[in-house]
Structure 1
Amino acid sequence: MLRPLMIALTLTSAWLALTGPAFAQTTAFGGMRADVSAPVEVAADNLTVDQTDGSALFSGNVVIGQGEMRLSADEVTVDYAEGGQERIRSLTAIGNVTLVSGEDAAEAQQAVYDVAEGSVVLTGDVLLSQGGNVLSGDRMTVNLATGAAQVQGRVRSVLQPGTP
């Protein structure tokens, strides 16, 4: 999986360098997947629940897990689907956001996890690392079911050459 990723990133990076930063980069990040049907577990220093709008605010050392995926942040707002707190609609993480799944790790200033769509959108100084390979940009969208990711906005990458 890593060798095709490196080839795809190398070719895409070269193409982007020639055609400009306006285009987005799409590739598969094998480890950045999650079982979207698994329960979501949350741990934090504080919790504030707002019954009127169906939200909960976790703050201080927030860690959220779903299957093998872990998300940590300064604070996370949980928005529940209509009809009560049985189903989570989305999670919005703000401040020092880190998303880890397998060997893949991503950092950003903000992340929005849409549970129904099974996607995470990271924004603000996004940095993705997979082994020795690093990819950065302004925005990254990850499909957790397929592992496909799209990075936009001044995309840069550092690729480590493979060994034969």
Structure 2
Amino acid sequence: MTPAFRALAALMALALAAPGFAHAQQAEVAFGGIRADTSLPVQVTADTLSVNQTDGTATFSGNVLVVQGEMRLSAERVEVVYGSADRSRIERLHASGQVTLVSGKDAAEAADAVYTIESGAVEMTGGVLLTQGASTIAGQKLVIDLVSGTGRMEGRVTTVLQPGGN
């Protein structure tokens, strides 16, 4: 029996043993590559910037790139919400339009994402696709804890697992 055939047989046995595994409503996901030091500065680059002093927001649009340490987030538009008491502290980022989050070998794509800086939580929604090496997982909502490197995919989860991976 060839190694490829054994891997295929093992994958089929796994699928038969756990029928809800490949198509579930929710899946826990390890994010060894998607971790971030939330105390590092956040650098934002974009084509345009609009600032609203009244509500404490700044909106970056056009080719937006947000960098914090090794983590990269790109989108068409990113709204930065500052603290109500301390306008120099960023509370959260709301990214929309072809959002991509990359850290290490892990990458996630979605329509929207909200990154709460202090807690290190990222919530991605709208046709989420996560790629980890050769494996992929898709769903409607991905919640990532950047501090612990863990996450949860929800909403008709579909995954493709590559046998022989680590």
Give the TM-score range, shorter chain: 0.7 to 0.9
- Displacement of 1:86: 1.3
Instruction: Return the match for 2:46 from 44, 47, 50.
Output: 44
Match of 1:123 in 2: 125
Query: Counterpart of 2:20 in 1: which secondary structure?
Result: helix
Match of 1:7 in 2: none
Counterparts in 2 of 1:147 and 1:75: CA distance versus 1, 3 Å: same
Query: Counterpart of 1:31 in 2: which secondary structure?
Result: coil
Counterparts in 2 of 1:36 and 1:11: CA distance versus 1, 3 Å: farther
What number of residue pairs does the alignment pair up?
A: 154
TM-score normalised by length of structure 1: 0.87
> Which runs of 5 or more residues in structure 1 are unaligned?
1-9
Matched, 1:114 2:113: no
Match of 2:4 in 1: none
- Displacement of 1:157: 0.6
Read off the aligned partner of 1:150 and give its amino acid letter: R
Counterparts in 2 of 1:20 and 1:157: CA distance versus 1, 3 Å: closer
Greater CA radius of gyration, 1 or 2?
2
Q: How many percent of aligned residue pairs carry the same amino acid? A: 50
- Displacement of 1:120: 0.2
Match of 1:5 in 2: none
TM-score normalised by length of structure 2: 0.86
- Displacement of 1:141: 0.2
Determine if contact 1:54/1:84 at 8 Å carries over to the other structure.
no
Determine if contact 2:24/2:158 at 8 Å carries over to the other structure.
no
Determine if contact 2:15/2:22 at 8 Å carries over to the other structure.
no
- Displacement of 1:29: 1.3
Matched, 1:17 2:20: yes
Match of 1:161 in 2: 163
After superposition, the C-alpha distances for 1:51-102 in whole angstroms (9 at most, x for unaligned) are: 0000000000000000100000000000001234311000000000000000
Instruction: Return the match for 2:102 from 100, 103, 115.
Output: 100
Matched, 1:64 2:66: yes
- Displacement of 1:21: 3.5
Counterparts in 2 of 1:121 and 1:65: CA distance versus 1, 3 Å: same
Read off the aligned partner of 2:84 and give its amino acid letter: E
